[in-house]
Amino acid sequence: MKHKITALNALFLIVAGGISAFAQGGRGGVPQPPGQNPNGMHVFIWAGLKSHGAGQHDYPQFLADWSKLLTERGAVVQGSLHMPTAADLEGTDVVVIYKGDAGFLSEAQKATLDAYVKRGGGVVSMHDSLCGPDPAYFSTITGAAKKHGEVNYTLEAPITYTIADKANPILKDMTDLTLLDESFFLMTWAKDPAVHVLVNNVIPPTRSAGEHKGEIAPQMWTWEHTVAGGQPARAFVWMQGHTYANFSNYQMQRTLLRGIAWAGKKPVDELIDYVAPVRPAGGRGGAAGAPGAGPGRGAQ
């Protein structure tokens, strides 16, 4: 009898050990994808269906391209063509939004987003993501927003940047470049605290700019704020992205990678400097300690 109990105990330990090892392979027992950095910052890409003409507002392509790019840069990436759920946001460091009119939200969706920001979650907004019916509300997420239906855009035009904060580490690779894109004006701005402007643009004299031509309008900024009773949160905003090819511009891509890291409270160069370990010959990669594992997730 004693021998039977000992054998059963041994069998139990073997099974339990196998379950534990499987569970450690990834979240919820799912093995890590080969080459993924299990210690990377967690990014959720909130994209949308494509709008506009060829080469413009290509939100689904961004989801495909940047989920790959960010993974190669050491991030752990999820994403969808709809707003992330509360479950999606658990453990997320930063939500990257590139979709049209993300400000159109139900009360339940607002509550989910508000709770995420209150606990200190980061937000990155690009192009017309900050457009919606209630810019006063969405400015509490991104530091500024614009109202849907207003003429607050230039349409496609040469957008010339003037860097406002040349010492900012996010702009380490930026110069006063010109992009063929679209700029916005007539924004509703957060006031307490105000945003920190990184890049300005003089509104070009397009047909839609009207009397706003010649105005100086911020086109990139950071915003640090704390919701009452919550933790400090960060937002990074870039108002271009009308022309999809500009995401591949060397200066812009590195600036966006730094902005994403900063908004997620990580060292600003975390996604720039990451180098995946070389996979062992014949190795499959995968879980913790496998190829792709990088440094810890310490906050900035």
User: Following DSSP, what letter does each residue of the chain receive, concatenated?
Assistant: -HHHHHHHHHHHHHHHHHHHHHHTTSGGGPPPPTT--TTSPEEEEEE----SSTTBS-HHHHHHHHHHHHHHTT-EEEEESSPPPHHHHTT-SEEEEESTTTT---HHHHHHHHHHHHTT-EEEEEGGGGEES-HHHHHHHHSEEEETTS--B--SEEEEEEES-TT-GGGTT--S-EEEE--B-SPEEP-SSPPEEEEEEEPP--TTTGGGTT-EEEEEEEEEEE-TTS-EEEEEEE---SBGGGGG-HHHHHHHHHHHHHHTTS-TTHHHH--PPPPPTT----STTSTT--S-----
| pLDDT over 60 (residue 265) | yes
| Domain assignment of residue 232, yes or no | yes
CATH number of the CATH domain containing 249: 3.40.50.880
What pLDDT is recorded for position 24?
40
What pLDDT is recorded for position 28?
58
Type of residue found at 49: L
| Domain assignment of residue 56, yes or no | yes
Q: What is the pLDDT of residues 144-191, one digit of tens each?
A: 999 999 999 999 999 999 999 999 999 998 999 999 999 999 999 999
50-59, 110-119, 244-253, 260-269: lowest mean pLDDT where?
50-59
Q: Which domain range does residue 269 map to?
A: 40-150+187-199+216-273
| Domain assignment of residue 99, yes or no | yes
| Domain assignment of residue 102, yes or no | yes
Tokens of 41: 């910052």
pTM of the model: 0.84
What pLDDT is recorded for position 8?
42
Average pLDDT over all residues of the chain:
88
Question: At 282, is the pLDDT very low, low, confident or very high (cuts 50, 70, 90)?
Answer: low
Q: What is the pLDDT of residues 73-85, one digit of tens each?
A: 999 999 999 999 9
What pLDDT is recorded for position 4?
46
What pLDDT is recorded for position 15?
36
Distance CA 82, CA 225 (A): 25
| Domain assignment of residue 100, yes or no | yes
| Domain assignment of residue 109, yes or no | yes
Domain count, the chain: 1
| Domain assignment of residue 141, yes or no | yes
Residue of 240, 129, 128, 139 whose CA lies nearest to 183: 240
| Domain assignment of residue 284, yes or no | no
Higher pLDDT, 57 or 12: 57
Question: At 289, is the pLDDT very low, low, confident or very high (cuts 50, 70, 90)?
Answer: very low
